[in-house]
Amino acid sequence: MHRRFLTFATAALTAAALTACTAGKESAPALGTQSKPSGSASLPATALELWHGFSAPAEVKAFEDAIAGFRQKFPQITVKLVKGVQDDQITQAVRGGKAPDVASSFTTDNVAQWCKSGTFQDLTQVIRQDGIDLSVLPEASRSYTEFEGRRCVMPLLADAYGLYYNKALMKGSQPPKTLSELTELTKKLTVRDADGTIKVAGFIPSFEYYENTASHLAPMVGAKWYNPDGTSAIGSDPAWKQLLRWQKELVDWYGYDKLDKFRKSLGQEWSADHPFYKGKVAMVLDGEWRNAMIANEAGSLDYGTAPLPVADDKPELYGSGFTAGTVIGVPKGAKNPQAAWELVKYLTTDTTALVTLSNALRNVPTTKASLESPDLKKDENFQTFIDIFGHPKTSTVPSSVNSSFNQEAIQEFMHQWEKGSVKDLDAGLAGVDKRVNDKLKLSGG
């Protein structure tokens, strides 16, 4: 299920804590400093503690099922799972010298700080020792698990974002492939009362609507977050202006006040009253997990999925999208780092473990073998997101000590933009750059 809605606040708190702290005293050897045992059976009997953020009973069971193979491979190692753990708890535990052996996070926003501060141990040496070929992972997932040459976490499961469409409301129309097609189809499918009140929206362009965040929309136009020197590219990359101008034109077509009123009248995103289920919105941007939620909450809905439409002048982007995901690693101070790495390696490279998790949680598995496994449960609608995840143009927010703040800064600006409060787009985006770059300096970037 989707968890990124929890991450902005958690990421901001964690980043602040990481910037202000030095990890606590290590009571155990660092990963890679010990001689590597020859063979799995040579690892001593030990107990590992793995912290993760899953909390629903089905999610917790999925994790237990996924490590069954590890327990069979290493019967001398016991694994205790601790559920419902958030990033700030991991950081505080490391600072206090009470780190778990293994920890998992739902967000990639803190990876740069974790790698830079040493909160999570560098896996580069043990990856090399064990001969792991990282090319089995798509480029995007490799990029969001390392920072400045330190790979301190591995990708566990991934989210990918695409377009969901209501087949009945589409009335035979094909899903749009370009922004101009999306605009045209939105106008065609929107239903209003005589006074202009919106009854059904073809597509809601508001940046305040559910998953319409800057990070999820940026790949539609190929917008860049950073310049080669690490400074913000939001104000200088023309793709951001392209996205904002397209969005504002569609908002103005609806009428901001009418669109805002309609948006606020809709059901909650995380409930059976989701407006897509109720036929109130014909097309929505969402992640792969929505397939499972539709099956559970609106099983009779006749819908399809497709990649997000892209800028008309960048057709090569079609089929790609945004990705991020769950990451897992060995925190600093882990008492049993070598055994902990074996568990991390198993969960992130073993096909059976990844397929087990994906089938239960309905997130995208991250290795090529797991994506192609005949045991992976997938239909046409889920296959869309597998294809998006594997597309060479699929992108993510690059690792940075500032990654959560820059997303918040542009999102705040976007809200003002769609309201009509921004009179000078160039100056406004330059102001976002200044905020991001000033924050970067304070963060030690």
Model pLDDT for residues 224-260, shown as the tens digit of each residue: 999 999 999 999 999 999 999 999 999 999 999 999 9
| 268 in a structural domain | yes
Which of the residue ranges 21-25, 64-68, 136-140, 347-351 would you say has the lowest mean pLDDT?
21-25
- CA separation for the pair 425, 435 (Å, rounded): 15
Residues 131 and 247 occupy one common structural domain: no
Share of the chain above pLDDT 70, in %: 91
| 287 in a structural domain | yes
| 90 in a structural domain | yes
* pLDDT for 6: 43
| 404 in a structural domain | no
Share of the chain above pLDDT 90, in %: 84
| 344 in a structural domain | yes
Residues 358 and 377 occupy one common structural domain: yes
- CA separation for the pair 353, 71 (Å, rounded): 12
* pLDDT for 30: 76
Residues 270 and 337 occupy one common structural domain: no
Given 298, 317, 336, the domain boundary residue is 317
| 418 in a structural domain | no
Residues 35 and 118 occupy one common structural domain: yes
Residues 293 and 353 occupy one common structural domain: no
- Whether the pLDDT of residue 125 is over 90: the answer is yes
Domain that residue 232 falls in: 161-317
Strands 191-192 and 102-105: unpaired
- Whether the pLDDT of residue 27 is over 90: the answer is no
Given 371, 390, 409, the domain boundary residue is 390
- CA separation for the pair 152, 119 (Å, rounded): 9
Residues 143 and 99 occupy one common structural domain: yes
Q: What is the 3-state secondary structure (H, E, C) of the chain?
A: CCCHHHHHHHHHHHHHHHHHCCCCCCCCCCCCCCCCCCCHHHCCCEEEEEECCCCCHHHHHHHHHHCHHHHHHCCCEEEEEECCCCHHHHHHHHHCCCCCCEEEECCCCCHHHHHHHCCECCCHHHHHHCCCCHHHCCHHHHHCCCECCECCCEEEEEEEEEEEEEHHHHCCCCCCCEHHHHHHHHHHHCEECCCCCEEEEEECCCCCCCCCCHHHHHHHCCCCCECCCCCECCCCCHHHHHHHHHHHHHHHHHCHHHHHHHHHHCCCCCCCCCCCCCCCEEEEEEECCHHHHHHHHCCCCCEEEECCCECCCCHHHCCCCEEEEEEEECECCCCCHHHHHHHHHHHHHCHHHHHHHHHHHCCEECCHHHHCCCCCCCCHHHHHHHHHHHCCCCECCCCCCCHHHHHHHHHHHHHHHHHCCCCCHHHHHHHHHHHHHHHHHHCCC
- Whether the pLDDT of residue 4 is over 80: the answer is no
Residues 47 and 59 occupy one common structural domain: yes
Q: pLDDT digit string (tens) for 417-429?
A: 999 999 999 999 9
Residues 39 and 128 occupy one common structural domain: yes
- Whether the pLDDT of residue 367 is over 80: the answer is yes
- Whether the pLDDT of residue 64 is over 60: the answer is yes
Query: Any idea of the CA torsion for 151, 152, 157, 159, to the nearest 10 degrees?
Result: -70
In one-letter notation, the amino acid at residue 113 is: Q
* pLDDT for 36: 58
CATH number for the domain harbouring residue 251: 3.40.190.10
Which of the residue ranges 55-59, 173-177, 296-300, 366-370 would you say has the lowest mean pLDDT?
55-59
* pLDDT for 168: 97
Residues 108 and 177 occupy one common structural domain: no
Residues 175 and 282 occupy one common structural domain: yes
* pLDDT for 37: 52
The number of domains in the chain is 2
| 428 in a structural domain | no
Which of the residue ranges 11-15, 70-74, 197-201, 303-307 would you say has the lowest mean pLDDT?
11-15
Confidence bin at 42 (pLDDT 50/70/90) = confident
Confidence bin at 9 (pLDDT 50/70/90) = very low
- CA separation for the pair 418, 217 (Å, rounded): 15
| 403 in a structural domain | no
Confidence bin at 5 (pLDDT 50/70/90) = very low
Residues 155 and 165 occupy one common structural domain: no
Tokens of 432: 């976002």
Average pLDDT, the chain: 91
- CA separation for the pair 297, 103 (Å, rounded): 31
Given 317, 351, 376, the domain boundary residue is 317
Q: pLDDT digit string (tens) for 261-276?
A: 999 999 999 999 999 9
* pLDDT for 427: 98
- Whether the pLDDT of residue 11 is over 80: the answer is no
Residues 131 and 241 occupy one common structural domain: no
